[in-house]
Each structure stands twice: as structure tokens, then as C-alpha cells.
Amino acid sequence: MTDRSPSCWRILVVDDDALIAALVGDGLRLHGHDVVVSSSPDEARLVLGDVDPHLLICDLNFTDGQSGAAFISEVRGQRPWVACVVLSNHRSPELAVADGNLLPKDVVYLVKSMVRSVDQIVDAVHAAMTGSELEASEHDDEAVIIINAAQAQVLRMLAAGATTRALAEARGTSVRAAESLLVRLYAVLGLDTSRDSNPRVEAIRLWQSGRIRVRSSSRGEASLVS
């Protein structure tokens, strides 16, 4: 845990996982911060002016289809002084949302499954507020699978329920080409593709696990108790 002088900051937490939001909010309040929790970007917009946050903690993909990356970019455009922490299920933003490139370069990025204590959240808040380096988690490189950006797009679409034909249409290719892309993706993920297996389901489970990283992503990570 980082040594730091005590400070009280106004923090807006945006996450549609009520348990995670409560854990983060309660933990930060115990450390003296003033915390408001919202369950979606739309809800957060309603309180943003009143909260006037020093720092925003935000998930990336919301169940209603909203993008946390777009919301963070929007807040930064209006309030460039607001520090930002991403709290995501995924090691790379490209796996969570299509517009992950909207994230500012200086956000502190946390992976939920890798965070072992509230102290890590507190350290991330301090790093974002002060511009200091966040110490890497000892679990950062544990059983990580590396894929490329195209495979990340396909995996994200699979998780959203896309069919092979829908994948082909989205990528402007034939169904046969999309099938070949899926075969390569399953191979990279190390999945069984025999007749009795269901690699599509297993791929989605891996996507949910937080064990996959996109090669093009250069963000550092740390990890909320699963």
C-alpha cells in the first residue's frame, strides 16, 4: 500500500454491479472520502454537477449498452481536471467496448478479478489524483492469454450473442472467412473444437474471466475481489 498524506476527495463511482459499487463506495468512505454511487452513465449525468467530483471511477460495459469509455471521455471533455479510474472485468478496454480508444491515456486501469483488497482501490485513487505510478499487482501476468485486436472484436461480439453471419457482416467478409477467424480464435484461446465441445461457450467464459489481454493494449493494470 502506498504511503500518502490523508486527503478527502469527492468521488463518483459508476458501476451497474451493485455489490462491486457498494464495496468500492463503502471502502473509500472508510478512508475518509466523500463518495456518490451511480448505476449507469445516464444516472451519473444527473448528479455530476452536484457532486462536482475530483475523481471518477467507472466500469466500461454496462448492461443497458452504454459505454463507460464514452462517458469518461465526455466527462473529461467537460471537466478536464477530473482524474479517472477504470474498473473493468477485462484486462484490455477493447474486450469490453468497441470505443475503448476514447479512454484518456492517463486513466488508471483496474481489473476487478485482480483486486484483492480495498487498499488497492485506495492506491489507484491516489495514483490517479497525483499522477504517480500504480504499483503492478503480483497477479498481473498470471495465466494471461494474448489475442490481437481483430480477435478481440470477434470475442466481444460473440459475448453479445452475434451469429457467425453477423460476424461476417460486421467485418465485411464471407461467412466462410468468419468461420476461419473463429477457428483461429479458438486455437489461440486453447479451446477444444471436437464434436462434443462447445468452443463458443468456452470462449465467452474466458472473456468473462479477465484472463485475456489484447496485444495492442499498452495499459498497465492492477485487480476487485471476485
CATH assignment of the domain containing 191: 1.10.10
Confidence of residue 111 (pLDDT cuts 50, 70, 90): very high
For residue 6, the model assigns a pLDDT of 55
3-class state of residue 74 by DSSP = helix
CB 134 within 8 A of CB 222: yes
The answer to whether residues 34 and 125 belong to one domain is: yes
Q: Which residues contact 87 (CB under 8 A, 6 or more apart)?
A: 15, 20, 24, 57, 58, 59, 110, 112, 224
The answer to whether residues 125 and 88 belong to one domain is: yes
Q: DSSP class of residue 225?
A: -
pLDDT at 4 over 90: no
Q: Whole domain around residue 155: which residue ranges? A: 145-210
Interval 6-20 mean pLDDT: 92
3-class state of residue 36 by DSSP = strand
Q: Which of 98, 130, 162 is the last residue of a domain?
A: 130
pLDDT in tens, 37-86: 999 999 999 999 999 999 999 999 999 999 999 999 999 999 999 999 99
CATH number of residue 120's parent domain? 3.40.50.2300
Q: Which run of H or of E encompasses 218?
A: none
Total number of domains constituting the chain = 2
The answer to whether residues 126 and 191 belong to one domain is: no
* 138 lies in some domain: no
* 202 lies in some domain: yes
